[in-house]
Amino acid sequence: MNYEVVRLNSEAIGISEFPDFKKLSFGRLDDLVGQRNDIGHGAIIQAPGEKHFLELRQFTEDLISGYCDTFAAWMKWTFESPAFDSDFNGPVWLH
């Protein structure tokens, strides 16, 4: 999914204002998704050079790791934190 989908989904579930989420770098996500779409739709493309490939791979690994760590922290904060509002109004940092 591209960044716009990530943004919309993050707002829908309430993680978009979580400080760790705001620190994630999505800078090359649209480029990566665009390349995947080109391949999936049979476009005639040129393979990325080694440097570009290694940069995309590192970006992908870092984003997946950061995204998972951020969601785990957000879930712990949201559902285990004493700051959680018992009337299910969400975590205090959202208010």
Query: What's the whole-number mean pLDDT along residues 51-79?
Result: 91
Residue 39: the pLDDT is: 84
pTM above 0.85, yes or no: no
State the Cα–Cα distance between residues 81 and 77, nearest whole angstrom. Answer: 5
| Measured distance CA(90)–CA(74) in Å, rounded | 12
Tell me the β-bridge partners of 91.
84
- 78 pLDDT band, cuts 50/70/90, is confident
Tokens representing residue 26 in the block: 């999505």
pLDDT at 89: 55
3-class DSSP state of 84: strand
Encode pLDDT of 2-58 as tens digits.
889 999 999 999 999 999 999 998 888 888 888 888 888 888 888 889 998 899 899
